[in-house]
Amino acid sequence: MPWIPTPTDGIAGSETLAAQHEAEQSISSLLTEHLAASADPQLQRDVHTAYLTRLLKAPLPKYFTGLDASRPWILYWAIHSLALLDGELDATAKTRLVDTLKRCQNPDGGFGGGPGQISHLAPTHGMYRFLLSLKQSDGSFIMHEGGEVDVRGCYCALTAAVLLNILTPDLASGTASFIASCQTYEGGLAAAAHPFSHDPSHPAPLGEAHGGYAFCAAASWSMLRVFSDPTSPCFAEAPLDLARAELDVRALMRWSASLQAMPIEGGGFRGRTNKLVDGCYSWWCGGLFPIVDSLIAETDDEPQPERELFDRKSLQEYVTLVAQAPSGGLRDKPGKPADAYHTCYNFSGDSTAQTKLRFSSSRQRQLADSFSSPFGGTIVTEGNQQDVDEEVVVIRGANESDEAAELRMREIYSRTLAWVAEDPKIIVGDPQNELLPTHPLFNITLPLVQSMMAFFYSQRS
Give the C-alpha separation, 88 to 377, whole Å.
34
Q: Does the annotation count 389 as an active-site position?
A: no
Question: For 273-306, what is each residue's pLDDT tens digit?
Answer: 999 999 999 999 999 999 999 999 876 654 555 6
Distance CA 347, CA 360 (A): 25
Q: What is the pLDDT of residue 390?
A: 47
Can you say whether the dihedral through the CA atoms of 18, 24, 30, 33 is positive or negative? negative
HSE of 286 in the Cβ direction (CA atoms, 13 Å)?
34
Residue 253 lies in a domain: no
Q: Is 275 a catalytic residue?
A: yes
| DSSP symbol at 125 | -
Whether residues 32 and 72 fall in one domain: yes
- Position 298 scores a pLDDT of 79
Phi, psi of 380 (to 5 degrees): -120, 125
- 210 as an active site residue: the answer is yes
Residue 280 falls in the annotated catalytic set: yes
Which parts of the chain have pLDDT scores under 70? 1-2, 125, 195-203, 237-245, 299-306, 376-393, 461
Same domain assignment for residues 406 and 438: no
Residues 105 and 149 in one domain: no
Residues 30 and 48 in one domain: yes
Q: What span, in angstroms and rounded, lies between the C-alpha atoms of 234 and 169?
A: 10
Length of the chain as a residue count: 461
Catalytic position from the list 125, 312, 342, 415: 342
User: Does the active-site annotation cover 170?
Assistant: no
The pTM of this model reads 0.92
* Residue numbers of the domain that contains 339: 24-57+65-115+261-359+417-460
Q: In 402-459, where do the E strands start and end?
A: 419-421
What CATH number is associated with residue 305? Answer: 1.50.10.20
Radius of gyration (Cα) for the chain, nearest Å?
22
Judge whether 154 counts as a catalytic residue. Answer: no
Is 256 a member of any domain?
A: no
pLDDT value of residue 307:
76
Catalytic-role residue among 339, 341, 344, 439: 339
What pLDDT was estimated at residue 193?
A: 87
- 90 is known as an active-site residue: no
**Within a 10 A sphere around the Cβ of 169, how many other Cβ atoms?**
21
pLDDT attached to residue 377:
53
Helix (H, G, I), strand (E, B) or coil at 336: coil
Residues 314 and 453 in one domain: yes
* Same domain (yes/no): 404, 433: no
Same domain, 319 and 226: no
In this predicted model, what pLDDT tens digit does every residue of 308-322 receive, in sequence order?
899 999 999 999 999
